[in-house]
Structure 1
């Protein structure tokens, strides 16, 4: 076979089983099974190098080794992977393109798909998915939809690696201190906010706070409330946006909860307060879970992310790094085998066990979430709650991005600091958003 091996991609059983019952009442089973017919793809095993470009967020070097390099070496030893850290100076995607050092695989979140299009690197994976018979039904449909939405395409410009999942973390010790029932799975934002108010109080000279909900954009994405309409005009002065700001004010903006220095939406400061034992609940994510490995003296647990009354069953937005192949890659088949390996049951189970939510629909894989973390073993933690809700897929305009999100965040912060009322803040944000979009259209 020279440099080729046969790769099984599917099995069709053509056997026939017959049950024959005799007149005398005796039963004989006769099974006729023809040899399996296998659909096979010839793999070129000539040694090949695949350039894997990522920032350190989705895959640092240790994660790359564990979840990509080692599994690929085991499954496809003819493929060598080169790790390119786009977080390093001079190695951003734009700089790589300018230098003619084009990667074969690019890893990034939603905005990266648009960047690939702008740089004319966008490649549709459907032909390779069909060629290698990759079963997309194994993958969460929300993850696939997210890729199409962010790529503004009906085709898949990438495939998801894992998902950063969210939950409501709680310090059980503070609930015990103040005689308040623990939070439970399935609670709404209002219910969690009410619990937080019961705990927010000064006690023995310490200001204890009940709940930090993170930025309002988290809930906006949960209910897929859009910033721009179909004509790319701001939606910020509509009633749903006003209701969203009012909800955030109710659950967070009151004395003792949002006093300085907590009158800005700063996740790091609030996570530090939670780990210190002065904040009872925080809507955190996978990184919060990993930070709790060091909180050996804290009695804590996690329940499902707070839900919006209008969209029960959903967490906040999909937050998955995507694996894309560049149009100019000369080793697309090998690059696809790398992606296929990351999506294998073995690697996805490893992700799940180490608190990176698998993108597979498999309940078996979901149930293993976080179980590989040594510090949590033997503790009755409700870790699976973090993967029990569906992630939302917000519809976004091509003009939406970190800059438009900042306009929304800034608008809420001026309300939080009591500098402006909600109507004024949203009206001014509406004007700023329309102005920004118009400037983008002229570029």
Structure 2
């Protein structure tokens, strides 16, 4: 959660005009009737739009606000960032009108749909001639419920495999490549994992909870109909054996995991890990986040799932069901998925959800390192289909998996079958505790 920049009372005061529109905004109060609206002149679109999301005020303005204001100079934008003290339900209860929101696919199900605040977008998209065909379908699958779209993707925090060239050079090992399998990555990892001069080198590691969210076999965690965990099965056994068990059999690695749990710093500060699977976000701050001779390759594929990369890990935007400015909000959303805006963001190192070649080719071109790095790895393969999400997935990921059984396996203290049995038991207990609070 990010720090608050204003109190709820101030927010309510600042947003008191949220429903006010100008005659220049064609029917900005409610969705237009069936049919399409006349082309909108961005210079004349007038409305007061209030956004809500997890991003800080600074990040919202940097990523979205400044570009929306430039495109629509007569729009008034107010942004409210969520904090522990300022949650969605509190803002709604204060009477502050909300028009648009930033969300993940998980937050849509956890927060916005249960609160009846998520607007179905299909009628608005039809009215405003919004073309979603350039969007990679996997991004839409995660936010389509009963064939209704509730969010549109703005960006993806794409997973890649970073690697430290100096470690590979030191031990004379071939660099990773796009299209390699996890079995081939395991072979490279074994060649790098060794103790030399008192330093325990580790061939490959990752942020387990991040990878678990985007597994390439799209494993579900909870049955939405029964609210029971579904992790003690062959799908999760496949992931745990191929990743968390196979890559942690070295005694030196297990000893290190017992002494001090593995972390980002082992790769990008202490330079002990040769390959690290994580999001593309490190590339945006490469000067400080990647202080080594680095490059990237696509996340390895399973031979059982050829051509599939990880699931989307996207940021989305939606329109609230209570907005009095839905037409204006749809015009803004239409701009944010446009080739114009997406190209600007792509140059800045924001991974696009569009399949448009020119937008993808622009990736990271504002960065000096772009010409010398394997940027095309960002778009290698197809995103895996999104799993069926529930509001209890994070309990499984954080508590049952990441903080418990993944560590026990890596420390050499637990086999996969025992780990999954324990994870399912723990998950069901945690879910039941949450259900009793409702």
TM-score (norm 2): 0.83
User: Hey, what does 2:230 align to over in structure 1?
Assistant: 235
User: Hey, what does 1:343 align to over in structure 2?
Assistant: 337
Of the three residues 186, 207, 211, the one matched with 1:214 is: 207
**Aligned partners of 1:245 and 1:297: how far apart in 2?**
31
Kept after mapping to 2: 8 A contact 1:199/1:280: yes
C-alpha distance after superposition, 1:35-74 (max 9, x if no partner): xxx9834669474211111212xxx444433442232223
Kept after mapping to 1: 8 A contact 2:142/2:388: no
User: Hey, what does 2:172 align to over in structure 1?
Assistant: 179
Shift of 1:265: 6.5
**1:9-28 correspondence to structure 2 within 5 Å:** none
User: Hey, what does 2:186 align to over in structure 1?
Assistant: 193
Distance change >3 Å, CA 91–CA 66, structure 1 → 2: same
User: Hey, what does 1:363 align to over in structure 2?
Assistant: 357
**1:61-76 correspondence to structure 2 within 5 Å:** 61-76=57-72
User: Hey, what does 1:97 align to over in structure 2?
Assistant: 92
Distance change >3 Å, CA 311–CA 265, structure 1 → 2: farther
How many equivalent pairs are there?
A: 400
Kept after mapping to 1: 8 A contact 2:155/2:315: yes
**Aligned partners of 1:418 and 1:323: how far apart in 2?**
43
User: Hey, what does 2:158 align to over in structure 1?
Assistant: 165
Shift of 1:389: 2.7
Kept after mapping to 1: 8 A contact 2:106/2:390: no
Shift of 1:439: 5.0
> Structure 1: which 5+ residue stretches go unaligned?
7-37
Kept after mapping to 2: 8 A contact 1:122/1:327: yes
User: Hey, what does 1:16 align to over in structure 2?
Assistant: none
Indicate the SS of the match to 2:133: helix
Kept after mapping to 1: 8 A contact 2:122/2:148: yes
Residue 306 of structure 2 corresponds to residue 312 of structure 1: yes
**Aligned partners of 1:70 and 1:193: how far apart in 2?**
45
> Structure 2: which 5+ residue stretches go unaligned?
1-21, 27-35
User: Hey, what does 2:377 align to over in structure 1?
Assistant: 385
User: Hey, what does 2:53 align to over in structure 1?
Assistant: 54
Shift of 1:432: 2.6
User: Hey, what does 1:31 align to over in structure 2?
Assistant: none
Distance change >3 Å, CA 346–CA 42, structure 1 → 2: closer
User: Hey, what does 2:267 align to over in structure 1?
Assistant: 273
Of the three residues 243, 254, 259, the one matched with 2:255 is: 259
Kept after mapping to 1: 8 A contact 2:45/2:328: no
User: Hey, what does 2:30 align to over in structure 1?
Assistant: none
Residue 38 of structure 2 corresponds to residue 80 of structure 1: no
Shift of 1:178: 0.5
Kept after mapping to 2: 8 A contact 1:415/1:422: yes
**Aligned partners of 1:424 and 1:217: how far apart in 2?**
22
User: Hey, what does 2:138 align to over in structure 1?
Assistant: 142
Kept after mapping to 2: 8 A contact 1:180/1:199: yes
Kept after mapping to 1: 8 A contact 2:268/2:290: no
Indicate the SS of the match to 1:335: helix
User: Hey, what does 1:408 align to over in structure 2?
Assistant: 401
Bigger proportion of residues as strand: 1
Of the three residues 277, 281, 285, the one matched with 1:283 is: 277
TM-score (norm 1): 0.82
C-alpha distance after superposition, 1:73-131 (max 9, x if no partner): 232222111121113x5332122112111321111112221211211212111111011
Name the larger-Rg structure: 1
C-alpha distance after superposition, 1:185-236 (max 9, x if no partner): 1111221121011011122332222111331772563211222457544433
User: Hey, what does 1:396 align to over in structure 2?
Assistant: 388
Distance change >3 Å, CA 119–CA 235, structure 1 → 2: closer
**Aligned partners of 1:109 and 1:314: how far apart in 2?**
21
Kept after mapping to 2: 8 A contact 1:342/1:348: yes
Indicate the SS of the match to 2:76: strand
Kept after mapping to 2: 8 A contact 1:317/1:393: yes
Residue 286 of structure 2 corresponds to residue 292 of structure 1: yes
Distance change >3 Å, CA 141–CA 297, structure 1 → 2: closer
User: Hey, what does 2:197 align to over in structure 1?
Assistant: 204
Indicate the SS of the match to 1:311: coil
**Aligned partners of 1:424 and 1:79: how far apart in 2?**
57
Distance change >3 Å, CA 218–CA 92, structure 1 → 2: same
Shift of 1:264: 7.4
